[in-house]
Amino acid sequence: MLRPGSYKGKLIVVEGIDGSGKSTQIDLLYKWLQSQGKSVYFTEWNSSDLVKSTTRLGKQEKMFTPTTFSLLQATDFSDRWENYMLPMLRAGVIVLADRYAFTAFARDVARGVDPVWVRNLYSFATQPDLTLYFQVPLDIAVERITGARAKIKYYEAGMDLGLSDNKVTSFRLFQQRIINEYENMVPEFGLTLMDGTLPILDLQKRMRTIVKKALHGWVGLSNPLAPVRRPAAKHQATAVKEVEEGEKA
């Protein structure tokens, strides 16, 4: 377990392998929470300006080792943690994170670093209020990735591990290792399972139910810019409502 946080805000995290649908879902959740007038902050993995140029250099020149890759991403996380996530949480904001320390615990260990060592690196981070782990069979993830995206990237496919010369094969082997690490973390960190094979709308409905429950009775930071129900947000809300009603019927 990570240490408990002492702040007013709420930390909600999505985790899962590439192609599990988590980014689509957290984006919809973000828009919904905003439309509800909440103060929300969204952050994603490996996005700090501080290490961007180093990451680019390392990827282009294929200079990373499992340890340097792990440490650089921890640097990125630490920068986002102390400049954005923690201050926002202390202010009483809902922080939505697309990937969190668990991504490092899964990927870096799949790359061969020591599990205890990498857990120590992130020991300054707090246990999220909710961690939604998107489970999806490898075949579906591979299909989504190869179908929708132009190309599987070198490190995404774990090509640095020399598992296979074929990118798709390497991707499968690497992602399977990551899945195994995630599965071990379900009891270790109390991850909430989400069925990533469900239709987008159904999954979003479930996600909102879970989040609503987690936020029940909680009052965060007020949002002076809260929308007074904009038409764009309404469309989304109506669609979900229809599913809800459809399920009831």
Partner 1 sequence: MKEIQYYGAGFPYRPLNEVPGKLIVLEGTDGVGRSTQVQMLRQWLEEEGYAVSDTGLRRGQLCGPGLDAAKQGHTLGPRTLSLFYATDFSDRLENQILPALKAGFIVLSDRYFYSIIARDVVRGADPLWARNVYGFALVPNLTLYLRADVPTLISRIVHGRGFNYWEAGMDIRCADNLYDSFCVYQSKLIEQFDRMASEYNFVTIDATHSVQSINDDLCRNIRALFAREKV
Residues that bind partner 1 (CB under 8 A): 50-51, 53-54, 57-58, 63-68, 71-72, 74-75, 78-79, 82-83, 111-114, 116-117, 120-121, 123-124
| H helical segments located in the chain | 22-35, 49-60, 66-80, 86-91, 101-110, 115-121, 138-148, 167-189, 200-214, 231-248
Strands 192-195 and 130-135: parallel
Min. distance of Cβ 75 from partner 1 in angstroms?
Answer: 4
Instruction: List Cα–Cα distances, 202 to 36, 64, 118, 211, in angstroms.
Output: 19, 39, 35, 14
Q: Which is nearer to partner 1, 61 or 245 (CB)?
A: 61
Contacts of 166 (CB under 8 A, 6+ apart): none
Q: Which is nearer to partner 1, 29 or 51 (CB)?
A: 51
Query: Rg (Cα) of the chain, in Å, rounded?
Result: 19
Q: Which is nearer to partner 1, 2 or 210 (CB)?
A: 2
Min. distance of Cβ 79 from partner 1 in angstroms?
Answer: 5
Region at 133 (left for phi over 0; alpha for psi -120 to 50; beta for the rest) = beta
Min. distance of Cβ 102 from partner 1 in angstroms?
Answer: 18
Min. distance of Cβ 44 from partner 1 in angstroms?
Answer: 17
Q: Which is nearer to partner 1, 116 or 219 (CB)?
A: 116
Min. distance of Cβ 57 from partner 1 in angstroms?
Answer: 7
Q: Which is nearer to partner 1, 68 or 169 (CB)?
A: 68
The full DSSP string for 101-123 is HHHHHHHHHHTT--HHHHHHHTT
What distance in Å separates the CA atoms of residue 181 and residue 211, rounded to the nearest whole number? 25
Q: Which is nearer to partner 1, 80 or 208 (CB)?
A: 80
Min. distance of Cβ 150 from partner 1 in angstroms?
Answer: 26
